[in-house]
A and B are shown apart, each in its own frame.
Chain A
Amino acid sequence: MSTIALLVITGLALGALYFLIASGLSLIWGLMRVLNFAHGAFFTVASYCAFIAAAALPAGGPWLHFLFAVAVGVGVGGVFAALTEVVLVRPLYERHVGQVLVTVGLALATTALVQGGFGADPRQLELPVWLTGTTTIFAAIPNSRLLTIAAAALVLVLLRFFLQRTRYGLIVRAGVENRAMVSALGIDVQRAFTLVFAIGGMAAGLAGVLAGAYYGTIDPFRGTAMLLFAFIVVVIGGLGSVTGSAVAAVIVGLLQQFLNFYAAAGTGDFAVVVLLAVVLLRRPGGLFGSAT
């Protein structure tokens, strides 16, 4: 029982990290038809900026430092993403190959720059004591997992509120269906593009900081590694669907944890790819997406 509880919570927490990255990717693809391979770079840059800024904070306890890191990570992720949209992606709308090349290039360049500046080795983080401890819920559950799940759940609620209850959310939902018609109603869809990029970057930045707490370290390559699974989550969940991303992230996280534990290590990752293939064959639009 305790093993299952631990695997469930850990799988949910891993899924929560995937969701934080995938939700932005999904909205960006759904609205703008941009495959943003630079999304992992938002994660990486935000995590480094966050923990360096927190470490430089002259006063305050560990919690203040951590909360400051969260704020910096979210802010840096959002600004980096918005700049990426305005400077690199916007000139290449309708040029999909160009978009892929520029976002892949940015991802590679960012990883190389971070590696050059801070080294390839993982950096140990100073975290609040509670975050390095455990809470007993059928098993000793690492508190960082609980925090990650709670944060992702909050982001899901906020994103759904944004999409369902605000005018910009309405524009994004409409734009996911038919961007040209949104423009034909007199709406500057370009602004929605920048906003969606920024929101995606903020979520990825939060994921970068929470992943630091989850693993206890940050490194230049984790963003890229997690991006692969986030893309799988986006496709399984349905392109453009935030709820779909949340459900798919939970499925992928749990599948990975259980199979990697009960079967051979790596089986979970393989099973996720098989699941992706099955979904693509049986339901090409994903669990919550349209068939197109």
Chain B
Amino acid sequence: MTNEPLLDVRELDVFIGESHILQNVSFAVREGGITGLLGRNGVGKTTTLRGILGLVRRTGSVRLAGEELTRLPVHEVVRRGVGYVPEDRDVFAGLTVAENLRLAERGSAPPRYDLVYELFPELRERAAQKAGTLSGGQQQMVSLARALLVPDNRILLIDEPTKGLSPLYVKNVADALQRAAMVATILLVEQNFGVASRLVGDAIVLDQGRVVFRGTIATLSADPELARQHLGLATAGHA
């Protein structure tokens, strides 16, 4: 057993054009469970995930189990065990559900189709359907399934998985995340505080591109002023 965090982000800076989006962002994610990356709209949560992967130019350090990732191209970062579920799902609309999943297969271990179809039985039924014709909730299932399929993924970066979904799908996705946390560590960006408070153990709060809170979700929920100031919640603990 080691105290080294699974993911260690140090002094991450991202500029997009003239804007300094992330400013000296540092945090660590422990192995196991779900860590929440929280904050109001536009504070840099999505950019943080993209910065970890290298989808945006960044400076600073990103270590996964002690290995520096910032010099690696995106596909090599992912191959080190970083799964990504983007905010807009980004399914390949012209490919079938089965092809979307097949594309995600990698590594030496067999893909976890059993787990994926247990969590999202609908995907098996819709395997031959073009992903672009699915509803938003079904596309989210495909996007999550692509990350869960790969046993080599040690951490999943999941960006607003419940955004724009109907209440039924929000529950399905939340249940799936809970189950997914049993097979991989999750760094979750989630605007729905109700969902976040149910799933998340540790929390990191960003405000204007800076980390303003590191602690547990329980601590955050218990501090109404902090929740109001950085998450925009009228009363902490309520979505």
Chain A contacts to B: CB under 8 angstroms: 167, 170-171, 173-174, 176-178, 180-189
B73 adjacent to A183 (CB under 8 Å): yes
Query: Which among A171, A176, A188 is the interface contact of B103 at CB below 8 angstroms?
Result: A171
B92 adjacent to A184 (CB under 8 Å): no
Instruction: Offer 26 A-B interface pairs, CB within 8 angstroms, sorted by A.
Output: A170-B95, A170-B102, A170-B103, A171-B103, A174-B92, A174-B95, A174-B99, A174-B103, A177-B93, A177-B94, A177-B95, A178-B90, A178-B92, A183-B73, A183-B74, A184-B55, A184-B74, A184-B78, A184-B84, A184-B86, A184-B90, A185-B103, A185-B106, A185-B146, A186-B106, A188-B73
**Count the B residues whose beta carbon is within 8 Å of the partner chain — how many?**
21
A-contacting residues, B71-112, CB 8 Å:
73-75, 78-79, 84, 86, 90, 92-95, 99, 102-104, 106
Query: Which among B53, B78, B84, B92 is the interface contact of A177 at CB below 8 angstroms?
Result: B92
In the A-B complex, the 5 residue pairs with the smallest Cβ-Cβ separation, listed nearest first, are A186-B78, A183-B74, A181-B90, A174-B92, A186-B79
- Nearest-neighbor residue (CB-CB) of A189 within chain B: B75
CA distance A163 to B49 in the complex (A): 31
Query: Which among A181, A186, A188, A189 is the interface contact of B92 at CB below 8 angstroms?
Result: A181
CA distance A177 to B93 in the complex (A): 8
Kindly list chain A residues whose C-beta atoms are within 8 Å of the C-beta of B99: 170, 173-174
CA distance A183 to B150 in the complex (A): 15
Known: A170-B103, A173-B95, A174-B95. A185 touches B78 (CB 8 A): yes
Q: Which of A178, A185, A189 has the most CB of B within 10 A?
A: A185
CA distance A178 to B73 in the complex (A): 17
- Nearest-neighbor residue (CB-CB) of B131 within chain A: A177
Nearest-neighbour CB distance to chain B for A89, whole angstroms, equals 17
Kindly list chain A residues whose C-beta atoms are within 8 Å of the C-beta of B86: 181, 184
A188 adjacent to B75 (CB under 8 Å): yes
Query: Which among B75, B95, B102 is the interface contact of A186 at CB below 8 angstroms?
Result: B75
Query: Which among A176, A177, A178, A187 is the interface contact of B75 at CB below 8 angstroms?
Result: A187
CA distance A181 to B139 in the complex (A): 14
CA distance A171 to B75 in the complex (A): 13
Kindly list chain B residues whose C-beta atoms are within 8 Å of the C-beta of A171: 103
